[in-house]
Amino acid sequence: MKIIEPRAWHEMIEGVLTGDNVKHYKKYLEEVKNIYKDSDGTDLSTLVYEVYSYSEGEEKKAGNLFWGLTVMYPVYLNGECNMTRGHFHEDTDCAEFYFGLEGEGLLLLMNKAGDMWAEKISKGSLHHIDGEIAHRIVNIGDDVLKVGACWPTTSGHDYKSIENKQFPYRIFKNNDEIEFFKI
């Protein structure tokens, strides 16, 4: 019997996802400035987050999975906490798991009716996200927030619905206190 090396590595502590078939992209403020209330005064070339994903096999084949990592930087735009764009899944039968690896954050969740709630993200936290629920990550700390994920390759991402109907609260940090403002 032959023993082979793994094709990818996820250095769970202070590392990122590396290896064959790992996709990586960076999001700069210029690309996502429209999700914030006010980005004035913040350099548009600021790196706000990075996403790594890994899969094997056909992405359109049911049963295949992505393994992912989101790295959120502690960026505040006039007090508003850094966040991902957020999305629904195109295939609402596809759930997802998030798990906290490093830092402090919130997982914002919203149903199709626009009802919103949040779960705390911290090292070791585990979050199940139903396929019909929109989700967004928010960094509320002073350090990098790293969140791992596992989801079906067939789930798809529906960003347009979030552009048309935003999450109903904005998250700010003022004097080390988290504040929620209804839109």
pLDDT, position 9: 77
pTM value is 0.93
Q: Is the pLDDT of residue 12 over 90?
A: no
Q: Is the pLDDT of residue 17 over 80?
A: yes
pLDDT, position 1: 87
Q: In the structure encoding, which two tokens stand for residue 183, read together? A: 């839109």
What average pLDDT does the segment 46-60 reach? 96
List phi, psi (to 5°) of 34: -70, -15
Q: Give dist(CA 48, CA 25) in Å, integer.
A: 11
For the chain, domain boundaries = 8-182
Positions of E strands within 36-95: 47-54, 65-72, 76-77, 80-81
CATH number corresponding to 8-182: 2.60.120.10
* Residue in this structure with the two tokens 């199709």, named with its chain if needed: 112
pLDDT, one tens digit per residue, over 84-117 is 999 999 999 999 999 999 999 999 999 999 999 9
pLDDT, one tens digit per residue, over 23-32 is 999 999 999 9
